[in-house]
């Protein structure tokens, strides 16, 4: 489906910046999700500190990996960004609830949407930023 809005062509540098900004959170989330699947001692301790039962690690890890994979696939990246926004909102809430610094999930969320904005002309057409 073609949009009537025209977007300016993006330079290769901007396109690569977008790809890198997408790769960073994908790698972080895949690693984090993988750790939740394997459940080494430090993950079990962190779940207890955050007030979550250890049995939830598997489901949360699967959710994290699936969201990251959906985001990494170009055709489904917008859906993945929406899913990751919800996931990262929950992570932010968890840290706020126990009084931890909560900027990590917010920065990852900014990378998710910023990278997608730089790489995807459909998103730039939907949200045209004017300078």
Residue ranges of domains in the chain = 12-124
pLDDT at 128: 82
pLDDT at 6: 57
Contacts of 3 (CB under 8 A, 6+ apart): 122, 125, 126
Cα gap 94→90, rounded to integer Å = 6
pLDDT at 8: 63
pLDDT at 1: 45
Q: Which two tokens stand for residue 67?
A: 């969201």
Q: Render each residue's pLDDT in the chain as its tens digit; 131 residues.
A: 444 555 567 788 888 898 899 999 999 999 999 999 999 999 999 999 999 999 999 999 999 999 999 999 999 999 999 999 999 999 999 999 999 999 999 999 999 999 999 988 888 888 887 76
Return the closest-CA partner of residue 59 out of 40, 25, 101, 87: 87
Q: 78 with 123: CB under 8 angstroms? A: yes
């Amino acid at each position: 489906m073609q949009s009537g809005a025209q977007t300016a062509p993006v330079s290769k540098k901007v396109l690569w910046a977008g790809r890198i900004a997408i790769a960073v959170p994908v790698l972080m989330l895949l690693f984090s999700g993988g750790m939740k699947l394997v459940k080494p001692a430090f993950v079990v301790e962190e779940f207890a500190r955050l007030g979550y039962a250890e049995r939830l690690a598997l489901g949360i890890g699967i959710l994290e990996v699936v969201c990251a994979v959906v985001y990494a696939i170009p055709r489904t990246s917008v859906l993945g960004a929406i899913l990751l926004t919800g996931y990262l909102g929950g992570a932010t809430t968890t840290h706020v609830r126990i009084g931890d610094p909560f900027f990590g999930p917010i920065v990852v969320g900014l990378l998710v949407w910023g990278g997608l904005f730089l790489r995807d002309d459909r998103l730039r057409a939907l949200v045209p930023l004017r300078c």
